């Protein structure tokens, strides 16, 4: 292993030229690509069109560019002439009709051939203000949608372009670009604002010269992409350096990953007003208040009519009776309980409430879990390399960390930081840290080993009080420790085995005892976590077994293709997914699934490698024996995959189809994929030099493609518009600044 020393100044000098080239590249992209329209408009002939004196419909003009939208004054519907394939927006005395037959408000720009001369029309700049727009939930504040209709040489009737959002404080949004068929004679600007609103059009410019607009954040993104591409190229230091080689600068790499991946999410959460003001579902805070008062039930009393129902868990009965309930709370013996695991409440909400007397927003535990998950994945991969495959390259280590972090749906949870996301994100972080301490204990000696085993067991035990179904991953202890136990029994070191058994089992006991007491206090049963008493879409105690659910679950969770688009954001929501229940034999609770895990997580495709033995010998007795590390790694990865597939089926049957449930098994599938990757890398060492180099390049390409595709897919979650708390609603101005930074054409 290399010594722990800093990179000398001489070595740093060789990076000056590449860094300078990356900066120049980022500047070139910002100037000539992202500001392409600015360069293009330099060759336009700019023409100002008078705001007043134009014909209009559904609008009244008061002078000085001030218009009032008065659709109520529009009378009648224009009758289409025979053979007319597209309706006209008729102006005159207040008659206007869109292509769909709807009355509209529109402004007409006519005789443009005379105004623009031979230059043609390539763009319009609308300098507008919407003075009476206000901030409201579920409303895009201050956004004016403009639908442009053009009549040109190739179109006798109006050709319609898509809606274009304009914000008065966003200069980029005011330019509407078009590619007409020949000379443009007429343009109709249709406005989407509500009836009675005021619109001020300060100026209308044909072929306006767009000023150069430098985006510092976009420039930083290009710098990051350039640095990442240079750092991860096959010839870079990161591909030459083993992940176990000591270097003082590695800690700064981990810190950099946290800053790059988590800080932007925190900024978007902080600036999303909707999250701050309108998130009401906070079961952990209700539980913290209850526990501080010495009881487990929450203070809100159920409606007596609900308690009196013959089956209060029947959602159809509750709806028919018009009874309000605490959705996704457990009802038992006339009291509401929180059926979510208690551990996140004890770790975050209760101390925060008890010490400060204020309520903790759900975003804080989720941000904390995101940091712990990212660092935990990094440490887990390092521990796996130390025990099973010491030749793992540091670049592969970093790529695995990023791909697993994004593949565990963390961007989705950071975009939707509510009470539902808390237990899943916390359980993911607990799983990677529990496994890290278990696996790293195999390289520790003496009491340090037992401490690591105990820490791993304690953290794994906490999963039962966080996300109980994920406690099944405690079975990963079998492939981790079976070789250690066999080796010590063979060497007749029974004291080591006894010490290990105590360190492994003991931490589970107080956690299990505490959870059982908690369950008994709430539901008079040590094994009842509250799922059967949950007030949700159906009676969970009568949930039938169905093959339909299994088929649907496998397709939705693993195989479903994403609904991609070519315009930012590049992912769209495919609806609530209810139509996917094509069998129609039973009720299946379904929410939108953006994509199955396999199409958007390329690294998972190598999992089948685990089903082939790495060694011909069947007598595997010790991790320390030469050549047996990879076989034990295979069993570890294979067990993780089997347990993950079990949870796919279990969640499909017991809970339904919900995107956040993918996190229950995606983390384990990625652990299996990481094991498969290490096995593949080890196999290349047996080939000749030429074949080995080819295989290594293919594996590098696989990792880079997996990283790029994962980033492209998962980063869209921060900007989707159809989720519960979209940035579009919580900070419309910020959303459109990002929107136009990407939609620069």
Q: Can you tell me the distance from the alpha carbon of 381 to that of 375, in angstroms, rounded to the nearest whole number?
A: 10
Query: What's the pLDDT score for residue 95?
Result: 53
Query: What's the pLDDT score for residue 743?
Result: 85
Contacts of 308-314 with C-beta under 8 Å, sequence gap 24+, read 311/539, 312/535, 313/533, 313/534, 313/535, 313/538, 313/539, 313/540, 313/541, 314/538, 314/539
Q: What is the DSSP string of 646-663?
A: HHHHHHHHHT-B-GGGHH
Radius of gyration of the chain (CA): 31
Query: What is the average pLDDT across 205-214?
Result: 90
505-520 pLDDT tens trace: 999 999 999 999 999 9
Task: Map residue 383 onto helix, strand or coil.
Answer: helix
Query: What's the pLDDT score for residue 676?
Result: 95
Rounded to 5 degrees, φ, ψ at 127 are -90, 100
Q: What is the DSSP string of 706-723?
A: HHHHHHHHHGGGGT-SSS
pLDDT over threshold 60, residue 618: no
pTM value surpassing 0.95? no
Q: How many CA atoms lie within 13 A of 540 on its CB side?
A: 20
Query: Is residue 589 within 8 Å of 659, Cβ to Cβ?
Result: no
**DSSP code of residue 557:** I
Query: What's the pLDDT score for residue 644?
Result: 96
385-406 pLDDT tens trace: 999 999 999 999 999 999 999 9
Q: Give start and end residues of each alpha helix (H) in 294-393.
A: 304-308, 315-321, 343-344, 350-356, 363-388
Query: What's the pLDDT score for residue 603?
Result: 95
Query: What is the average pLDDT across 210-228?
Result: 89
Query: What is the average pLDDT across 261-289?
Result: 84
- For residue 162, the Cα-to-chain-centroid distance in whole angstroms is 28
| C-alpha closest to that of 715 among 503, 412, 492 | 412
Task: Map residue 336 onto helix, strand or coil.
Answer: strand
109-157 pLDDT tens trace: 888 888 877 678 889 999 988 765 554 444 566 788 898 988 888 888 7
pLDDT over threshold 90, residue 677: yes
Task: Map residue 539 onto helix, strand or coil.
Answer: coil
Query: Is residue 348 within 8 Å of 360, Cβ to Cβ?
Result: yes
640-662 pLDDT tens trace: 999 999 999 999 888 888 889 99
317-352 pLDDT tens trace: 888 888 888 888 888 888 999 989 999 999 999 999
Query: What's the pLDDT score for residue 4?
Result: 47
User: Which of 6-20, 414-428, 429-443 ranks highest by mean pLDDT?
Assistant: 429-443
Query: What's the pLDDT score for residue 12?
Result: 64
448-497 pLDDT tens trace: 999 999 999 999 999 999 999 999 999 999 999 998 888 888 877 777 78
Q: Give start and end residues of each alpha helix (H) in 76-138.
A: 112-116
pLDDT band at 97 (very low <50, low <70, confident <90, very high): low
pLDDT band at 316 (very low <50, low <70, confident <90, very high): confident
550-572 pLDDT tens trace: 888 899 899 998 888 888 888 87
Apex CA 159: angle with CA 155 and CA 161, to 5°? 150
Q: Give start and end residues of each alpha helix (H) in 273-326.
A: 273-278, 283-292, 304-308, 315-321
Contacts of 723-726 with C-beta under 8 Å, sequence gap 24+, read 723/415, 723/416, 723/573, 724/416, 724/418, 725/272, 725/274, 725/275, 725/278, 725/279, 725/415, 725/416, 725/417, 725/418, 726/274, 726/415
Residues 6+ apart with CB under 8 A from 465: 341, 342, 343, 511, 514, 515, 518
pLDDT over threshold 60, residue 690: yes
What's the mean pLDDT when you consider all of the chain? 84
pLDDT band at 170 (very low <50, low <70, confident <90, very high): confident
Percent of the chain with pLDDT over 70: 88
Q: Can you tell me the distance from the alpha carbon of 556 to that of 19, in angstroms, rounded to the nearest whole number?
A: 44
Give residue 65's region: left, alpha or beta (phi > 0; psi -120 to 50). left
Q: Can you tell me the distance from the alpha carbon of 684 to that of 634, in angstroms, rounded to the nearest whole number?
A: 16
Query: What's the pLDDT score for residue 161?
Result: 85
Higher pLDDT, 22 or 75: 22
pLDDT band at 9 (very low <50, low <70, confident <90, very high): low
Percent of the chain with pLDDT over 90: 36
pLDDT over threshold 50, residue 530: yes
Query: Is residue 303 within 8 Å of 324, Cβ to Cβ?
Result: yes
Domains of the chain: 9-35+215-228 (no CATH), 45-206 (2.60.120), 232-274+361-742 (no CATH), 280-356 (no CATH)
**Bridge partners, 68 (sequence order):** 60, 198
pLDDT over threshold 60, residue 81: no
pLDDT over threshold 70, residue 58: yes
State the greatest distance between any 2 C-alpha atoms of the chain, in Å, as a whole number.
101
pLDDT over threshold 80, residue 416: yes
Query: What's the pLDDT score for residue 483?
Result: 86
pLDDT over threshold 50, residue 84: no
Query: What's the pLDDT score for residue 112?
Result: 86
pLDDT band at 93 (very low <50, low <70, confident <90, very high): very low
pLDDT over threshold 80, residue 181: yes
């Amino acid at each position: 292993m290399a010594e722990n020393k800093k990179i000398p100044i001489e070595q740093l000098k060789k990076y000056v030229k590449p860094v300078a080239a990356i900066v120049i590249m980022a500047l070139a992209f910002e100037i000539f690509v992202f500001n392409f329209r600015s360069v293009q408009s330099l060759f336009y002939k700019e023409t100002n069109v008078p705001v007043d004196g134009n014909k209009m419909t559904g609008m009244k003009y008061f002078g000085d560019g001030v218009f009032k939208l008065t659709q109520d004054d529009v009378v009648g519907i224009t009758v289409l002439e025979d053979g007319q394939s597209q309706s006209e927006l008729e102006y005159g005395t207040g008659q206007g009709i869109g292509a769909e037959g709807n009355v509209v408000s529109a402004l007409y720009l006519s005789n443009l051939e005379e105004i623009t001369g031979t230059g043609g029309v390539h763009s319009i700049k609308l300098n507008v203000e919407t003075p009476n727009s206000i901030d409201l939930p579920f409303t895009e504040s201050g956004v004016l949608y403009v639908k442009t209709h053009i009549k040109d040489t190739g179109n006798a009737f109006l050709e319609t372009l898509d809606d274009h959002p304009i914000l008065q404080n966003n200069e980029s949004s005011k330019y509407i670009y078009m590619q007409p068929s020949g000379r443009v004679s007429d343009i109709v600007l249709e406005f989407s604002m509500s009836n009675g609103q005021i619109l001020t059009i300060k100026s209308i410019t044909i072929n306006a010269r767009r000023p150069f607009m430098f985006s510092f954040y976009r420039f930083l993104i290009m710098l990051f992409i350039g640095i990442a591409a240079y750092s991860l190229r096959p010839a870079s230091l990161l591909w030459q350096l083993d992940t176990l080689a000591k270097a003082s600068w590695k800690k700064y790499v981990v810190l950099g990953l946290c800053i790059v991946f988590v800080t932007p999410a925190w900024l978007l959460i902080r600036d999303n007003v909707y999250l701050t003001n309108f998130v009401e579902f906070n079961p952990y805070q209700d539980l913290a208040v209850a526990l501080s008062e010495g009881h487990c039930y929450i203070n809100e009393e159920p409606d007596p009519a609900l308690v009196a129902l013959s089956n209060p868990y029947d959602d159809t009965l509750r709806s028919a009776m018009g009874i309000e309930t605490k959705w996704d709370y457990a009802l038992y013996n006339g009291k509401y309980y929180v059926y979510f695991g208690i551990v996140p409440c004890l770790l975050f909400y209760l101390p925060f409430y008890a010490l400060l007397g204020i309520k903790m927003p759900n975003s804080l535990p989720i941000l904390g879990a995101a940091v712990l998950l990212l660092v935990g994945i990094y440490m887990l991969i390092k521990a796996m390399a130390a025990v099973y495959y010491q030749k793992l390259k540091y670049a592969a280590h970093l790529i695995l960390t990023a791909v697993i972090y994004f593949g565990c749906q963390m961007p989705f949870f950071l975009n939707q930081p509510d009470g539902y996301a808390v237990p899943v994100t916390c359980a993911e972080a607990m799983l990677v840290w529990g496994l890290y301490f278990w696996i790293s204990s195999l390289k520790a000696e003496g009491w340090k080993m037992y401490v690591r085993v105990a820490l791993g067991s304690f953290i794994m035990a906490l999963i039962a009080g966080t996300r109980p179904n994920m406690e099944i991953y405690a079975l990963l202890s079998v492939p981790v420790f079976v070789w250690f136990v066999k080796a010590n029994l063979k060497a007749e070191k029974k004291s080591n085995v006894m010490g290990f058994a105590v360190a492994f089992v003991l931490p589970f006991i107080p956690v299990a005892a505490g959870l059982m007491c908690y369950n008994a206090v709430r539901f008079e049963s040590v094994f009842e976590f509250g799922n059967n008493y949950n007030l949700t879409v159906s009676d969970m105690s009568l949930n039938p077994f169905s093959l339909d659910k299994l088929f649907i679950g496998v397709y939705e969770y693993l195989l479903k293709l994403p609904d991609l688009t070519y315009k930012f954001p590049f992912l769209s929501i495919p609806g609530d997914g209810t139509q996917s229940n094509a069998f129609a034999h039973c009720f299946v609770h379904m929410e939108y699934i953006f994509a199955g895990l396999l199409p958007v997580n390329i690294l998972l495709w190598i999992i089948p490698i685990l089903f082939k033995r790495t060694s011909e010998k069947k007598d595997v007795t010790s991790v320390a024996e030469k050549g047996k590390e990879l076989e034990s790694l295979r069993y570890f990865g294979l067990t993780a995959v089997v347990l993950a597939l079990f949870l796919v089926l279990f969640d499909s049957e017991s809970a339904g189809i919900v995107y956040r449930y993918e996190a229950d098994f995606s983390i384990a599938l990625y652990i299996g994929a990481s094991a498969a990757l290490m096995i593949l890398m080890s196999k290349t060492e047996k080939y000749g030099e030429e074949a080995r180099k080819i295989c290594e390049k293919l594996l590098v390409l696989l990792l880079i493609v997996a990283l790029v595709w994962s980033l492209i897919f998962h980063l869209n979650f921060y900007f989707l518009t159809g989720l519960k708390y979209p940035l579009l609603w919580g900070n419309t101005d910020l959303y459109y600044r990002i929107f136009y930074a990407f939609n620069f054409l």
